[in-house]
Chains A and B, each alone.
Chain A
Amino acid sequence: MFEPSGERASTSQSGRSSSATSVKTQDTLPSAGFNVAALAKIGEQAFQRGELVSAELVALTYGALVRQLFLDYQAPEDVNEELERIGYNIGLRLVDDFLARSAAPPCRSFQATAEIVARVAFRMYLGVSARPANFAADNTAYSILFDTNPLAEFVEVPDAVANTLWYSNIFCGVIRGALEMVQFSVRASFTRDMLRGDECNEIRVCLLRELEETVPLDKET
C-alpha cells in the first residue's frame, strides 16, 4: 500500500539537474567528494527498507501539535521557537536512527553534511528529494532546497500570522540537533517557504563552530 510512486523518482531527476545550475560557488567540489547518484540510491534503499507510515498521518499529527502550541503560546514567534526546540530534541535522537539504518558514509567535513542531510536523510525519512545549494565561499554555510513538504500538505496559514510563523520550523531544529551530535554546532533557519508563496523551500544552515570531543574526567566518584 505504501509504495513510493514512480512520479517522485522523476522529481529527483529534475531536482538533481537544477542543483547543478544553482550552485554558485565551489564548482570544483559540489558534492564533497561524494557520488551524488550513489547517495540518492542509499537514501532510496533505506526508505524502501524502512517501515513506513502514511505521510498524511504524520502531517495531521504535526498539524495537531502546531495547533496545540498556538493554544499554549499564542505568539507566533514563540511557536517558532518551541517548534525549533522540539525539532532539536528529535534531531538528537534521529541521528542515531539515521546512522544505524542508512549505511551512509560518515560526515568528515561540514560540507559533507550538506550532501548527506539533503540527499540521503530527506529521502529516507520523508521520501522527498532535497538538494544542497548556495555553498558559502568559505564553506561555513549552505542551503537545503526542497519542493515537496509532506508536513505542510494540508496547510494554509492564516493571514494574521502568515509573515511571522514558519510552519515547518521543526526541520531547522532537527538539523541543528542531528549535526550537533556529529560535532557540528550550527544554526538553521528557513529563508523561503512555499506556504509563503516562494517557489521552493529553503533552509539555510550556518556553521557556528566545530565541537571537539570531550574526554571524560575521572573525578566523578
Chain B
Amino acid sequence: MSTTAMALPVPFLQARRNQSAHFSVFALLFAETISYFQNRVDSIAELEERLLDLGQQIGRRVLELVWLREKFTRREIDVLGALRFTTTTVWRFLFGKFADSLERVKDKENEYIIVDNTMLFARFISVPTELEGLNCNALIAGIVQGVLTASGFPCRVDAHQAPPADASEYVSRSLFSIRFLPESNHTF
C-alpha cells in the first residue's frame, strides 16, 4: 500500500479533501448502473453479484484513499479492529456519518452485522414485484467487502433489509452481514 502512495503524482495528494457532490448525482449514476446491468443478466442473484463485484472495485480504492486522506500510520491487525475502522472512518468517508451499530452474530465465531438505520439509498428505492428480493444495497455490501478484503481479511458480505425500528419512518434499516473466511482468522 505504501508503494502505491509513493508512486502517486503530487496533485493527487493535494486534492481537495472536502470536495463534495450533490446526492442526486450519485443516486442517478447508481440507478443507471443498475439498469445497465439489468439488461445483461438473467437472474436477480446474478444482478446482485454484478453489483457486489462493482462495489469491490470501489471498495479497494476507497480503502487506499481513506488511508491517504486520514494519514494512517498503522494498519488494523485483527478482525474487530478492521470492522471498527470500516464502521467509523470508512463510513464517514462514504456517507458523512458513522454506522449505527456493529454486532456479533450469536453462536458464530466469525460473523458480524453492521446496521445502518438511515441509509440514503434505502429511502427512495422501492422494489417492484417482478424484481422481488432484489437488494440494491448489494453495491454497498461490495464496497464493505472490498475494503475488508483489501485490508487482509477476506470475507463475504451480504445486504439485507429490515423493517424500520419506528413504524412512522419511511426508511427501512439496512443490514450488512459479514462472514469472514477461515483464512482471515490470523494475526499479522
Residues of A within 8 A of B (CB): 1-5, 7-8, 47, 50-58, 60-65, 67-68, 72, 86, 89-90, 93-94, 97, 101, 124-127, 150, 153-154
Q: Which of B16-24, B161-169, B178-186 forms part of the interface with chain A?
A: B16-24
Q: Which of A1, A47, A72 has the most CB of B within 10 A?
A: A1
Q: A1-B18, A125-B22, A126-B22 are known contacts. Are A154 and B62 too (CB-CB below 8 A)?
A: no
Contact A56 B120 (CB under 8 A): no
Q: How far is the CA of A3 from the CA of B33 in the complex (A)?
A: 27
Contact B92 A64 (CB under 8 A): no
Q: Quick one: CB contact mask for B87-104 with A, threshold 8 Å, 1 for yes?
A: 000001111100000000
Contact A93 B21 (CB under 8 A): no
Of B18, B24, B26, B33, the contact of A5 (CB 8 Å cutoff): B18
Of A53, A67, A72, the contact of B57 (CB 8 Å cutoff): A67
Query: Interface residues of B toward A: which range?
Result: 20 to 34
CB-based nearest A residue for B66: A56
Q: Is the interface of A mostly helix, strand, loop or mixed?
A: helix
Of A57, A101, A153, the contact of B15 (CB 8 Å cutoff): A153
A-B residue pair count with CB separations less than 8 angstroms: 113
Taking CB atoms, residues of chain A closer than 8 Å to B92 are 1
Taking CB atoms, residues of chain A closer than 8 Å to B32 are 86, 89-90
Residues of B within 8 A of A (CB): 12, 15-16, 18-26, 28-33, 35-36, 40, 54, 57-58, 61-62, 65, 92-96, 120
Of B16, B19, B26, B35, the contact of A61 (CB 8 Å cutoff): B26
Contact A60 B65 (CB under 8 A): yes
Taking CB atoms, residues of chain A closer than 8 Å to B28 are 90, 93-94, 97
Q: How far is the CA of A113 from the CA of B57 in the complex (A)?
A: 37
Taking CB atoms, residues of chain A closer than 8 Å to B31 are 90, 93
Taking CB atoms, residues of chain B closer than 8 Å to A50 are 22-24
Contact B65 A58 (CB under 8 A): no
Q: How far is the CA of A150 from the CA of B29 in the complex (A)?
A: 14
Q: A1-B96, A56-B65, A93-B31 are known contacts. Are A68 and B54 too (CB-CB below 8 A)?
A: yes
Contact B58 A64 (CB under 8 A): yes
